[in-house]
A and B are shown apart, each in its own frame.
Chain A
């Protein structure tokens, strides 16, 4: 909790005029051809040398490489420079890399500034060298001006609690929880449904090995429930997240089960007596359950919950003859539980795309048009039809089934998603194969645009689907589905290989709908302050190098919450996220950038304007000295108070007014001629 000694922090901004012993080294990185191929680096070097206090300007192919780093280190070691500016990629990418050089050479890491001339100049002006050069020069001006004003700061060390919060208990959350729990960290596994398991529990078999999904998932679910380090918080939702990396305070709403979870034995007698019949969400409404229920027999925890939206409060379940342990409690209320954790893993999964808006496919109007997940439950031996899919209209076994790919995904129209959902091709082939196994005489068509069989063993799986099973792959997206009077379906499209329109009568159509971000993804994102990509999924810190980190320190992303993936990828990412979180927690402490704000008491007039501005309650008022005081541990370093202070009494480390003003002066300086 405690932040490092603050006495070494600068308390005044007044003496920060550049003194004579500032020697700035400018290092211009070619980044291969990314920068060097667009702008003239020799000219940049000459330009850099004209900037104030610059004593050295060098260029090199890759400054992030060993040799490049060594060159900077050598200059510092030889005392040639004591301020470093690297003009290269985004500081979000390599700032830590270069700061480490300064630390290793005994220089304060905050005497470093990075001019972003790749993402913000050469990459956005690839065909305009002169323009890119102009922007690069200005960015260099700005950073050289800033580096001259920079102050030495001590990085802050904060403790990391050896505990983790995992939001979402699907296959991603379960794997992360197990990996962290088995390493000895305390894990709180929060799940909004009454059971853990997520979407994977609904699947029948998994491609390409045709493993039974429950057979590989349920042991994991049981393992989670048995692990002493893991606390399952099912039927709960995260309400509020406070704090920062290493020290999050999380409020979790434990929704009322109306069944005392400590007394319930999961015998199921109550469900037998309950007179209410509602559609079971687990089977997508295709089977029924009572108002007091567990979602499916293998649910973990297998304890009952009353669905108060449908309960008629008849009280039958509460009688002692039905519930011997007297677990039913209609007066139960939601509880808020607060846990303190060091890291957070977001594994909230996905929603399947709602396809009812696609009028030409008639989902919702035509009984025999079903979605992929409905077919999955139909095929499941634990599903509503015990593994023997039937036509919804008449309960007969369908002779011909058509799967239609890319429904709702790879579609740029409003209400659909332009991305590829990555799982639909394979699950459609899998379902067709499963159906063919049961009914070899059946006709199975898969209407596709491209088959994306990219995983290990996937292409072979695809090959055998047509080769061994005779599934007919039809290249072309269906244009429309019409219902015949006998409820069979007339499908129209084009066989693009033959180049002719086709019309075909089938008994059933499966719309292979893709996945999309959870409807409440925005809520989760703002709870844990992470970003979302344009597709709605949570955004990783770097698409290639940091795929499980979020932009917020201490918060990791796992599973489809980050983007569409199949089970092997989800598990890999979950393990990656667990590893990321474990690194922080095993070390027990983490360095955070000391960008907090400080009140210069001599200047503070005690107007208290800043107090209301702080969203974290970090500013208190010292009524004795009549000044504001900022608690550095609570301050997250946004600097809103700084811009509010009418006396300029507050300064934010590394972003002081003087430093920011120097950037503006540097780039729009007095000597600049237009």
Chain B
């Protein structure tokens, strides 16, 4: 499923790969996904400890620079969380995200990164369970993918 198109910087031993805990930066919209993440918390839905959450008011606010910067600085994956289409608190901010992100995925592919390094997912305020599932899936995929090659090592 996951093809490693990445520049392999070094080969790792198996134990290292197993110990690898991907760093996921979540950029979540305030009204849907951030609230959904809160709901996942209040419902005590356990997920792997890999997601760091940053809040913006709307997924339309997410600038490509932020994602590039995060990847450049070594984040293993960026998860952009938006409202479902039609549910945007700001009418249609997520439409713009939906159109922006595929372009950006293309771009990061040109940089030599795996397109899976950037995910856009629609998670509503009541979908903590979906968020949990998505994070589990993403962690799995990123573990297979290995660390971001741009990561600075010791």
A interface, CB within 8 angstroms of B:
90-93, 116, 118-121, 123-128, 130-132, 134-135, 138-139, 142, 522, 525-526, 529, 531-534, 539, 543, 551-552, 595, 613, 615-616, 636-640, 642-644, 652, 655, 657, 660-661, 663-665, 667-669, 672-674
Question: B113 within 8 Å of A by Cβ?
Answer: no
Q: Contact at A135–B60, with CB atoms within 8 Å?
A: no
B interface, CB within 8 angstroms of A:
21, 23, 25, 31-32, 34-35, 37-38, 40-42, 44-58, 60-66, 69-70, 73-75, 86-93, 96, 100, 124-127, 129, 132, 147, 151-154
A565 vs chain B, min Cβ distance (A): 18
What are 12 residue pairs bridging A and B, where the CB atoms are less than 8 Å apart in the complex? A119-B37, A124-B41, A127-B46, A134-B21, A533-B126, A615-B90, A639-B58, A640-B96, A665-B69, A672-B74, A674-B74, A674-B151
B47 vs chain A, min Cβ distance (A): 5
- Report which residue of A131, A135, A533, A643 has the largest number of chain B beta carbons within 10 angstroms of its beta carbon: A643
A-B contacts at CB below 8 angstroms, number: 170
Chain B residue contacts of A672, Cβ below 8 A = 73-74, 152
7 nearest A-B residue pairs (beta carbon): A131-B49, A119-B41, A640-B60, A639-B61, A668-B73, A638-B90, A638-B58
With A134-B49, A640-B60, A673-B154 in contact, do A531 and B42 touch (Cβ < 8 Å)? Answer: no
Could you tell me the distance between the alpha carbons of A164 and B74 in the complex, rounded to whole angstroms?
Answer: 51
Q: Contact at A664–B66, with CB atoms within 8 Å?
A: yes
Could you tell me the distance between the alpha carbons of A126 and B87 in the complex, rounded to whole angstroms?
Answer: 31
Q: Contact at B41–A525, with CB atoms within 8 Å?
A: no
A295 vs chain B, min Cβ distance (A): 32
Q: Contact at A92–B56, with CB atoms within 8 Å?
A: no
With A139-B53, A660-B56, A668-B73 in contact, do A652 and B40 touch (Cβ < 8 Å)? Answer: no
A120 vs chain B, min Cβ distance (A): 5
The 8 Å CB contact of A91, one of B42, B55, B64, B154, is B55
B34 vs chain A, min Cβ distance (A): 7
Q: Contact at B53–A665, with CB atoms within 8 Å?
A: no
B60: nearest chain-A partner, CB-CB:
A640
Could you tell me the distance between the alpha carbons of A668 and B73 in the complex, rounded to whole angstroms?
Answer: 6
Q: Contact at B73–A661, with CB atoms within 8 Å?
A: no
A526: nearest chain-B partner, CB-CB:
B86
Chain B residue contacts of A532, Cβ below 8 A = 124, 126
Q: Contact at A119–B46, with CB atoms within 8 Å?
A: no
Interface class of chain B by DSSP: loop
Q: Contact at A664–B53, with CB atoms within 8 Å?
A: no
Q: Contact at A138–B52, with CB atoms within 8 Å?
A: yes
With A525-B87, A616-B91 in contact, do A640 and B52 touch (Cβ < 8 Å)? Answer: no
B44 vs chain A, min Cβ distance (A): 6
B40: nearest chain-A partner, CB-CB:
A124
The 8 Å CB contact of A665, one of B44, B73, B90, B132, is B73
B39 vs chain A, min Cβ distance (A): 8
Q: Contact at B61–A638, with CB atoms within 8 Å?
A: yes
Additional A-B contact list (19), CB under 8 Å, known A638-B60, A643-B61 = A90-B38, A91-B55, A124-B45, A124-B46, A526-B87, A529-B89, A543-B42, A615-B90, A615-B93, A637-B57, A640-B61, A643-B63, A643-B100, A644-B96, A655-B57, A657-B63, A661-B66, A667-B25, A673-B154
Q: Contact at A668–B23, with CB atoms within 8 Å?
A: yes
Could you tell me the distance between the alpha carbons of A351 and B85 in the complex, rounded to whole angstroms?
Answer: 25
Q: Contact at A119–B126, with CB atoms within 8 Å?
A: no
Could you tell me the distance between the alpha carbons of A116 and B62 in the complex, rounded to whole angstroms?
Answer: 20
Could you tell me the distance between the alpha carbons of A487 and B71 in the complex, rounded to whole angstroms?
Answer: 70
- Report which residue of B25, B63, B153 has the largest number of chain A beta carbons within 10 angstroms of its beta carbon: B63
